[in-house]
Amino acid sequence: MNINPDNSSENFVHHISYNNRERMVGLFVFSGFVLFLFFILISIKNQHLFEKREVFFIDVNSSEGISPGNVITALGTEVGVVSNLSLAKDHKIRVSIEVYNEQRKFIRSGAKARVNRLTNIGNALIEIQSNSIDAPILAAGSVIPVEETPSLNDLLLGLANLVQSADNNNLLSKFELMLPKLEKTLENVHEIISQIASGHGVLGAAIFDQQVEKELKVVVKSGADILSEAEGIITIAKQRLVQLGPVLDDAKYMTHDLRGTTQNLPEMVKELDTIIVQVKTALTLVNGELNNIPGVALDARTALKKTNRLLDSVQNTWPLSKANSTLKAKQLIAPHANYE
Amino acid sequence: MQIMNRIYLVLLCLALSSCGGSSVSKPARLTNAEIYTEEAVNAYEDEEWSRAQQLFNQSLTIYQGIDDRTGVLVSHINLVEVALARHDLQSAQKHLIVAEDIVKTEGIGAYQARITLLYALVAIQQDEMTKGNGFLQQLMPEFKGGELVDGIDAIQLAAIASRTELAFTQKQDESLWVLRFANALKKAVNEKMTLKARLLRFQSLLLIQQADYSRAEELLQQALLIVKNNLSRSGIAQVLFELGQLKAKQGTSVQALNYFDRSIAVFRSVGNDVKVNKVKVERAKLAVMP
């Protein structure tokens, strides 16, 4: 502020003038004040401080995680807050919800409130879901039906009760008593498999062991070869019978054609030789396969042993058995006294 | 708080049990070798010697193929046992030498006692009683008269049984060794029923020496019951043979012939021709008697 010393008789109030610095400071203070007001307005807007609200109600079984000020959402948007908690009928808690007037459009007739206590520990998330956005807006003061999830504490308490009741009823000891029976059942399964081994070992092995499957394929293939050869032999034999048929039917014809038949005899003998050779080959093949059968059977037993081992593994898996058996137990023959 | 602790305990048990599961599978060749060995041991217990030998040879080949030295050693020891059961001394010695070599080179001292026992059994089968006795002495536990000082293992028990047999063959200190065998059997952790039957047979031999035939027969019948329960065919045949010999001593030749015939049938089923001939000789002696 500058006062002119030359005009000292004049009223100094009417002669106030500001320099640039003072003007800048004033502008800065003023703009700060405007900004402050602007922020306050935004805050008021965000906190819906002076916005008109409509009250709705939800009845919950427990007020756990719900307290005044809890946010209410709909379609992911904040639509209101919990304003009050009071006792309702049927030992329920009536939760008053204040929904902002602007967001009221999100709450339609048929809407349901979902109280989720598992998302945030200590705070429940209340979400209002409307069935259809075309439905009319829900009237203020309505009670919204509610779905509640159990809290983490409820879940842990339930688990604890389960353990407690299992403990009280000696369920674990009963389960332990049941284990030998289960083991016995598995033993019976072993027995059944052994029976299959003795009755249908090759088939059983073919199921479990690829090596046996291969051998079985060889056997089947050879068997098919043998059968096709046998078919050939039978066809030839049939031809012979067909040839012999007229001879047997008509002795007269046979007598007349005896010369013709005897003429065919060397050829027939030759064919018979071929048949014998073929039969011999077939028998050799069969013999070869028979020689392979012990090996196949052994492999089948091996496959079944593996299955047995698998069952043992299942049997030894907790909680079916407490102890694991060792395969090495029978690897070495027990010491023997002098052989007589 | 207590409830929470229980929940944590249950969760901890679950975690530990899942850690216990073995997800690592054995190589197929090793599993096959073990299966062959197991089959072979079963065949040995069923006294199917040739099958046992064949299967042990297969497992030996697999173990050699993967250079599993312990597996090879165990297979050789098993093959020695089978060879001894078949009275095939040549094969027994061959496998025993290899087994001993592995024990020495690999430094697997745990098998040394078993090797010594097998050497003793080979020597006894070769009728080299002194040599066999020497090997058995290396395995003997400490005795105070007839009593054992400490506990014994299966190898020592087998050694005492063999030593008792040796005492009868050499006709020296039979009653002392029978007493020692009886005490050892009492102290054994796993009392083997076939060895108990053998003890009863030794005791019956002592009674026969004292001409107490009725008590001796009683013990032999007990032994027969045990070996039949265990389906030990060699044991059944041997007890029947001894009952036949006892009946022959008593002069009841019809019963003796019956026992001899039954013994021959069982020895034949095992394929022990040496024993069949031995019983036949005894039977023939009885048949020529007036």
Residues B80-114 pLDDT 10s: 999 999 889 999 999 999 999 999 998 888 899 99
Per CB distance under 8 Å, which residues of A are interface residues toward B? 156-157, 159-160, 163-164, 167, 298, 301-302, 305-306, 309, 317-319, 327-328, 330-340
Whether residue B275 lies within 8 A of chain A, CB to CB, comes out as yes
Contact of B249 with B208, CB cutoff 8 Å: yes
Would you call the peptide bond into A319 cis, given omega within 30 degrees of 0 as the criterion?
Answer: yes
Task: Name the stretches of chain B with pLDDT < 70.
Answer: 1-8, 13-26, 189-191, 288-290
Contact of B55 with B39, CB cutoff 8 Å: yes
Percent of chain A with pLDDT over 70: 56
What CA–CA distance (Å, rounded) separates B182 from B197?
11
Contacts of A340 in chain B (CB under 8 A): 234, 238, 275
Contacts of A298 in chain B (CB under 8 A): 39
Residue A329 is predicted with a pLDDT of 46
Query: Which residues fall within 8 angstroms of residue B275, CB to CB, at 6 or more apart?
Result: A340, B237, B238, B241, B267
Residue A296 is predicted with a pLDDT of 62
Contact A319 B17 (CB under 8 A): yes
User: Which three-class secondary structure state does DSSP give residue B211?
Assistant: coil
Contact of A41 with A68, CB cutoff 8 Å: no
Contact A302 B35 (CB under 8 A): yes
Contacts of B78 in chain A (CB under 8 A): 332-333
What CA–CA distance (Å, rounded) separates A98 from A120?
21
Query: Which residues fall within 8 angstroms of residue A38, CB to CB, at 6 or more apart?
Result: none
Whether residue B62 lies within 8 A of chain A, CB to CB, comes out as no
What CA–CA distance (Å, rounded) separates A186 from A311?
7
Q: What is the mean pLDDT of chain B?
A: 87
How far, CA to CA in Å, does A163 sit from each of A156, A157, A167, B58? 10, 10, 6, 53
Q: Give the gap in angstroms from C-alpha A313 to the nearest C-alpha of chain B.
A: 9
Whether residue B180 lies within 8 A of chain A, CB to CB, comes out as no
Tell me the two tokens of residue A231. Answer: 């078919």
What confidence tens digit (pLDDT) does each residue in A216-236 have?
566 666 666 766 776 677 677
Contact A332 B195 (CB under 8 A): no
ipTM, 2 decimals? 0.80
User: What are chain B's domains?
Assistant: 32-107 (1.25.40.10), 126-191 (no CATH), 195-290 (1.25.40.10)
Using CB atoms, which residue from A330, A331, A337 is nearest to B162? A337
Residue A312 is predicted with a pLDDT of 61
**Centroid of chain to Cα A314:** 21
Contact B165 A337 (CB under 8 A): yes
Residue B245 is predicted with a pLDDT of 93
Tell me the two tokens of residue B46. Answer: 């069923």
Residue of B nearest to A308 (CA): B35
- Tell me which of A307, A313, A336 to substitute to probe the interface with B (most B C-beta atoms closer than 10 Å): A336
Classify burial at B132, counting beta carbons within 10 Å of its beta carbon; exposed 0-12, middle 13-18, buried 19 or more: buried
Domain ranges of chain A: 12-46, 53-154, 173-329
What residue spans of A103-151 are helical by DSSP H? none
Contact B161 A332 (CB under 8 A): no
Question: pLDDT (tens digit, 0 to 9) for every residue of chain A, 340 residues total?
Answer: 444 444 444 555 556 788 888 889 999 999 999 999 999 989 888 777 788 888 999 988 888 888 888 889 988 888 898 988 888 877 788 999 999 888 888 888 888 898 888 777 778 888 888 877 788 888 888 889 988 887 777 788 888 887 777 676 666 666 666 677 777 777 777 777 666 655 545 455 555 555 655 665 666 666 667 667 766 776 776 677 677 666 556 555 554 555 555 566 667 767 777 777 777 677 667 666 665 555 666 666 666 666 666 666 555 554 444 444 444 545 888 888 888 7
What CA–CA distance (Å, rounded) separates A164 from A154?
15
Query: Which residues fall within 8 angstroms of residue B60, CB to CB, at 6 or more apart?
Result: B72, B75, B76, B79
How far, CA to CA in Å, does A247 sit from each of A235, A251, A263? 19, 6, 14
Contact B125 A319 (CB under 8 A): no
Contact of B99 with B76, CB cutoff 8 Å: yes
Contact of A239 with A275, CB cutoff 8 Å: no
Residue of A nearest to B19 (CA): A318
Q: Give the gap in angstroms from C-alpha B205 to the nearest C-alpha of chain A.
A: 15
Q: How many beta-carbon contacts under 8 Å exist across A and B?
A: 88
Residue A321 is predicted with a pLDDT of 46
What CA–CA distance (Å, rounded) separates A326 from A310?
13
